[in-house]
Amino acid sequence: MYDFRPAPDCPKPEAYRQLVDAADALTSGEPDPVANMANVAALLWDFLPDLNWAGFYRMVEGELVLGPFMGRPACIRIPLGKGVCGVAAGDAATQLVEDVHAFPGHIACDSETNSELVVPVIRGGDVVAVIDLDSPLKARFDEEDREGIEALAALIAERI
């Protein structure tokens, strides 16, 4: 049995260090990318408060396709350059959005989402997936979240 949850009063940088360590432990040596994404999505859900969606979109034939996640049903396909995920994948750059309703071209898969953090997973210079985090709170994500999820994306890039 795995129990990787951080203490409730754990400082955010330490929680992210523990998240990356847990993801490393669960994905190390496992060759199946779907299994690894599923476990990482579950870790994100357990580690990060105030989320209504956490998971992956995979790059498939030039568009993003829904991958393993935790949360409500989601959009299945997202074109590059469309919505927060499509912009992150198309530009190969993290998108930290305090208010998704102010983001040009935002795709509302869940009307309760108010802020979003999307980090591309890059392998060999190519975006292979994005990690998508949604919150019902405005301005839920900050630079510590960005740094933590970017560290996670770097770790799993060769494992998904």
Give the C-alpha separation, 23 to 18, whole Å.
Answer: 9
In a domain? residue 68: yes
In a domain? residue 6: no
pLDDT number for residue 66:
98
In a domain? residue 5: no
Residue 135 buriedness (CB in 10 A; 0-12 / 13-18 / 19+): buried
Per the document, the length of the chain is 160
pLDDT number for residue 77:
96
Helix ranges restricted to H, 29-138: 33-47, 83-91
Q: Percentage of residues in the chain with pLDDT exceeding 90?
A: 86
pLDDT number for residue 158:
97
CATH number of the structural domain spanning residue 103: 3.30.450.40
pTM for the complete prediction? 0.95
Dihedrals phi, psi of 23, to nearest 5 degrees = -65, -40
pLDDT number for residue 81:
94
In a domain? residue 2: no
pLDDT number for residue 140:
98
pLDDT number for residue 20:
97
In a domain? residue 7: no
- Number of domains observed in the structure of the chain: 1
pLDDT number for residue 111:
76
Classified as helix, coil or strand, 14 is helix
Range of the domain at 64: 12-156
Stretches in the chain below the pLDDT threshold 50:
none
Q: Both tokens of residue 65?
A: 């396709």
In a domain? residue 1: no
pLDDT number for residue 1:
54
- Cα–Cα separations (whole angstroms), residue 2 to 47, 49, 96: 13, 19, 30
pLDDT number for residue 23:
97
In a domain? residue 4: no
Q: Buried b vs exposed e over 101-129: b needs ≥16 C-beta within 10 Å?
A: eebeebbebbeebbbbbbbbbbbeeebbb
pLDDT number for residue 8:
78
In a domain? residue 66: yes
pLDDT number for residue 26:
96
